[in-house]
Structure 1
Amino acid sequence: MLSGKRILLIIGGGIAAYKCLDLIRRLRERGAAVTPVMTRAAAEFVTPLSVSALAGEKVYTDLFDLTDEAEMGHIQLSRVADLVLVAPATADLMAKMAQGMAGDLATTLLLATDTPVMIAPAMNVRMWEHRATQRNLEVLKGDGVSVVGPNDGDMACGEYGPGRMAEPLEIVDAVVGALADGPLHGKRIVVTSGPTHEPIDPVRYIANRSSGAQGKAIAAALRALGAEVVFVTGPADVAPPDGVEVVRVETAREMRAAVLAALPADAAVFAAAVADWRVVGASDSKIKKVAGALPTLAFEENPDILAEVSQMTEDRPGLVVGFAAETNDVIENATAKRTRKGCDWIVANDVSPATGIMGGSENAVTLISDTGAEAWPRMGKDAVARQLAARIADALV
């Protein structure tokens, strides 16, 4: 996937630097060449010898190395790569990047480059949440720097929260999405995911059961094939994938507005479990429990986003894919849904309790199109996503 691509990897001085050893290996497995640059602080956590051995290339550390300048000047070094990747991007490195400082080799390369830059932040949770770091992050995003992570997790300092560097395979996926000339390069695809929450009062709501895991996997698989993905997600259990445009919503009406705002698009995949109904006149204050008295709730229909987009006369995506989670008569109900909504494909799955699929890591789906129903074997949700993404690529290219 990265054959012929060169990554200039700048390793910052944080405990997460140890992950870069695996990151280098994973990048090279996919065909990339990795040129490593280490800050002086990085060498306190991993040795240049280890980094060089895994990269198969010399490690650059010193801005004023006359031998290296004779062989490859720092300006050239910053421009021969297809991507400059900073991992870990410490709070200090991010601040220096945002201010345009150039006091060592790493920061000079970053200031001198006209190559796309990606950072994988890693730091203590309090440092990550500090207003100065968040200001620097917004400056870097405004400068066109892409960001992968950080994740929530345990810190080396004993604290827990956001600031943990993304795992090597997550970073690799983001790099592939940024560089791979996949079959969906240049295509814009909208993906909806997760549940919607329809309020009863400020503390209660109705919703469908959905973790958002399948929608996330689909968005990541499409991004890996080169697509520009707009990921519209309800309040899901899983974090959104890296490398996509994330639009967070709560209700079905908010999701509808976000989808329409994302059009036009080449394709739309509606994997979200949108609530069919909402409460009429949701209370602005908590409804108090009164002994012997039950509240009366009236419902009204939510907008049918799939049907509305499928039946558009203008800005309709070239391919509209819906999902149908059924507990009985799966194929019959899903086929009828496809006809009723007017979408091109329906991905049907049996979520009856006996299957154990609802909330699990696997899925067993049937792809229903105008050519009939094609049953896929039970497999992990990531595998389902890759297979569906490949089919979408075949249809669009």
Structure 2
Amino acid sequence: MAVIPVELAGRSYEVRVGGNLLADIVAQCGKLLRKSRVPIVTDSNVAAHWRDTVDGSLHAGGFEPRWLVLSPGESAKSWAGLEQVMDWLLAEEVERGDHVLALGGGVIGDLTGFAAAILKRGCGFIQLPTTLLAQVDSSVGGKTAINTAAGKNLVGAFHQPSLVLADLGALTTLPVREMRAGYAEVIKYGILGDRAFFDWCEANGADVVGGVVTAQDYAVTESVKAKARIVAEDERETTGMRALLNLGHTFGHALEAQTGFSERLLHGEGVALGMVLAARYSARQGYISHSDAERVAGAIGASGLPTEIAPLGLNCDGRALVAHMLHDKKMDAGTLPFVLLRAIGEAFLDRQVSLDDVGEFLDGQLQRR
């Protein structure tokens, strides 16, 4: 088992990566489980695979699991979903010193974490990520949020978990599409800041998606290490360092919004397309070569992820996509910084990007096949 500390000012927590962690949940959580009743938020897909395992571990340790099982999908990460979780936690008499378990992917982690952040002005929570995307990205770093009609993750809080248990066994239950979506966040760490890891992903990406445990272990561990370093340096995204983790997200969130945050485009697929667009726009601006931009696209496409917009059939123009970007959380004094590339493995924030030029660029991308 790999143990990665997330070192923050005055506090820290661990991310543990390994097998059979959910079956050993009582020993892993230790004193964080301070009362006999343990509240767990999950969705019906995850519950079908892992409820019995978690139940067995908790019962064997003398605990009583209490379950809130939500409908799966992005729609749960909403005002209505938040209200449902909050009402349930209050009915369960969860106290500020308790820990709520978030068992699931990014939706469950974000929603439960935000509920924990505001319940009685803040209670504890433990992340039990069951998707590759959640294990390498959303479960680490304390960003919690819900979506609104105006856009994705616009209402939320920074609220760090007390512990993250990334059980690699959970990945065996994922459909290949979900594995690919998670892999987008793995290769992101190579593209934005680690050329050697990008090279490793080029050579081993198919093994990660295909279920080779040693490759998955390395990919998750190295991704968490990279994110932990960045979060420790810039927990609340004030210096610009943590903003680099948004590589692909400005373009990707616009595509997600245009598809109605639906199953047409999973978040990881949006990030993958967004990274391709960020690389191509970096080439348009003269920061990297067109051949490097297409190398990024090729590495992403080799895992089965999308690299072109046209197949989505969006029926919009570049200006419509830019309009979605105006709701981006990174907007500052009327300008929107973009995470672009000076090289593969070297991302930076460009604060001088013309949104009109982005619109023209996207018009061209919408025509590519």
Taking structure 1 as the reference length, the TM-score comes to: 0.29
Select the structure with the greater relative contact order (CA < 8 A; seq sep ≥ 6).
Answer: 2
More strand as a share of residues: 1
More helix as a share of residues: 2
